[in-house]
C-alpha cells in the first residue's frame, strides 16, 4: 500500500471475491471480479437486488452493472454466479457505465442470455457502435496516423503496431445490443426490492469516456464510480483520433470536482482496485497528481524547447510501457498538452515534418 492509499479506508481489507463468485458489500449489492488480458488484470462488476414491473407483473431479480470483456472465461464466470449466487432469480437489466471494452464487451451476451435491455448513455452507446465497425480511437490506421502526427513517427515500428490493431475493439466487443435505454445526467434509476427500493442517481463524467455514468445511492451511501475515481491508479484520460482537438483532461478534472457534491463518507465501488471510503480525499489526490504532471511538462518544455507528445511520454510516465500501455500514454500526454494549450500556457506548432510540437506561450 502506497502513501496515498493509506489516506483511504478499505472496509473489506484485502478481501477479494474469487472469480465466478460474489461478496455482499452493502444490502442487496454484490461484488464480483472478472479477469482482463492486460497489465491491469481485473475489473470489478456489481449486481443489485431488484424488482421490475413487467406489464403489470412484478418480477424479482437482479440488475448487473458493467459486464467484463466477451470471452469464454468471462461467460463461464457469469454462469457460475447465475447458478450459485442469485438465489435462482433472473437478471432483469444490464447497466453499463461506459463504452470501454472491459465494461461493455459482454453486455450483448448478457442481454441476449436474459432477454433484457441495456441501459447506457446515448453518447457511449453510439461511440461503441462506431468503434465496433471502425475501431475509432482504439488502434488501426486512423489512430496510427494521429499518433504519428503527435511525434510517434520517430518510432516507425510503434506506428506500424498501432496501425495493425484495427480489430482491437471488436475482438473484445464482438457485438452490441440492437437497442438501449438512455441514461442521462441527474436521472434516477429505481433499484431494489420492496421497502429496500431506492434511487441511484446518474452522475455524468467526461474525459475518460464520451459520457460516463457513475451511480450514487444516497439512501445506502454507495457510489458505483466506474472508472471516474479509482483508489490506486489514476484514470486514463486521453485525446484520440476521432476527437483530435479535445480538451479531455480539463473535462475530467471538472467532472471529478463536481463529484464532491456526493458525501465524503460514501462507500466507493470502483471498477479497478478495492472498495474504499474517502471520496473527497481521493479526488484531491487525483487533482494533485495532474497538477504535478502539468508542472513536469512545463519544466521539460522550459528546459528543452518545443516537444511533441511522444517526446513527453517519459516525462509523464516514468516506467517501461508495452504497446497497450503506450497507446494510453500517448493519449494522456496529448491530453496534458491540450489542457495547457487551451489555458493559453502553451502554443502548438506544426513542423515541416508534419508533427505537432508544443512550446511555452510567449504571452
- In the prediction, which pLDDT does 314 show? 96
Taking 50 as the pLDDT cut, the residues of the chain under it are: none
Q: Which single residue is written with the C-alpha cell 518510432? A: 155
- In the prediction, which pLDDT does 166 show? 85
CA-derived radius of gyration, the chain? 21
User: How many H-runs (helices) and E-runs (strands) does the chain carry?
Assistant: 11, 15
Q: Which single residue is written with the C-alpha cell 441495456? A: 118
pTM of the full predicted structure?
0.96
CATH number assigned to the domain with residue range 5-299, chosen from the 4 options 3.40.50.300, 3.60.15.10, 3.30.300.130, 2.40.240.10: 3.60.15.10
Write the pLDDT tens digit of every residue in 280-309.
999 999 999 999 999 999 999 999 999 999
Q: Where are the domains of the chain?
A: 5-299
Cβ–Cβ under 8 Å, residues 359 and 337? no
Write the pLDDT tens digit of every residue in 112-126.
999 999 999 999 999
- In the prediction, which pLDDT does 135 show? 64
17-20, long-range: CB < 8 A, 24+ apart: 19/73, 19/77, 20/76, 20/77, 20/80, 20/81
Q: Cα–Cα distance between 257 and 259 in angstroms, integer?
A: 5
What are the distances in angstroms from CA 172 to CA 58, 64, 273, 281, 288?
35, 19, 21, 34, 33
Amino acid at each position: 500500500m502506497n502513501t496515498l492509499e493509506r489516506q483511504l479506508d478499505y472496509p473489506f481489507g484485502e478481501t477479494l471475491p474469487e472469480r465466478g463468485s460474489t461478496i455482499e458489500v452493502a444490502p442487496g449489492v454484490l461484488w464480483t471480479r472478472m479477469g482482463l488480458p492486460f497489465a491491469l488484470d481485473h475489473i470489478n462488476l456489481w449486481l443489485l437486488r431488484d424488482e421490475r414491473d413487467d406489464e403489470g407483473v412484478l418480477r424479482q431479480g437482479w440488475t448487473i452493472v458493467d459486464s467484463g470483456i466477451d470471452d469464454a472465461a468471462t461467460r463461464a464466470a457469469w454462469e457460475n454466479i447465475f447458478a450459485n449466487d442469485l438465489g435462482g432469480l433472473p437478471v432483469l437489466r444490464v447497466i453499463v457505465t461506459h463504452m470501454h471494452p472491459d465494461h461493455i464487451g459482454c453486455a450483448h451476451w448478457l442481454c441476449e442470455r436474459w432477454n433484457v435491455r441495456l441501459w447506457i448513455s446515448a453518447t457511449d452507446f453510439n461511440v461503441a457502435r462506431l468503434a465496433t465497425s471502425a475501431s475509432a480511437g482504439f488502434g488501426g490506421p486512423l489512430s496510427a496516423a494521429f499518433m504519428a502526427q503527435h511525434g510517434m513517427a520517430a518510432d516507425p515500428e510503434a506506428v506500424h503496431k498501432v496501425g495493425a490493431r484495427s480489430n482491437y475493439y471488436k475482438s473484445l466487443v464482438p457485438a452490441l445490443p440492437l437497442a438501449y435505454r438512455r441514461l442521462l445526467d441527474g436521472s434516477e434509476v429505481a433499484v431494489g426490492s420492496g421497502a429496500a427500493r431506492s434511487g441511484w442517481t446518474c452522475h455524468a463524467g467526461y474525459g475518460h469516456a464520451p459520457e460516463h455514468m457513475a451511480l450514487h445511492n444516497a439512501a445506502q451511501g454507495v457510489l458505483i464510480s466506474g472508472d471516474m475515481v479509482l483508489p490506486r491508479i489514476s484514470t486514463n484520460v486521453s485525446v484520440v483520433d476521432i476527437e483530435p482537438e479535445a480538451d479531455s483532461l480539463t473535462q475530467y478534472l471538472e467532472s471529478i470536482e463536481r463529484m464532491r457534491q456526493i458525501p465524503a463518507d460514501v462507500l466507493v465501488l470502483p471498477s479497478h482496485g478495492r472498495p474504499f471510503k474517502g471520496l473527497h480525499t481521493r479526488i484531491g489526490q487525483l487533482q494533485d497528481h495532474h497538477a504535478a504532471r502539468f508542472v513536469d511538462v512545463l519544466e521539460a518544455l522550459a528546459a528543452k524547447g518545443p516537444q511533441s507528445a511522444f517526446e513527453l511520454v517519459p516525462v509523464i510516465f516514468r516506467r517501461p510501457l508495452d504497446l497497450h500501455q503506450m497507446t494510453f500514454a500517448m493519449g494522456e500526454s496529448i491530453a496534458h498538452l491540450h489542457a495547457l494549450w487551451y489555458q493559453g500556457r502553451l502554443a502548438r506548432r506544426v513542423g515541416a515534418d508534419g508533427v505537432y510540437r508544443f512550446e511555452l506561450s510567449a504571452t
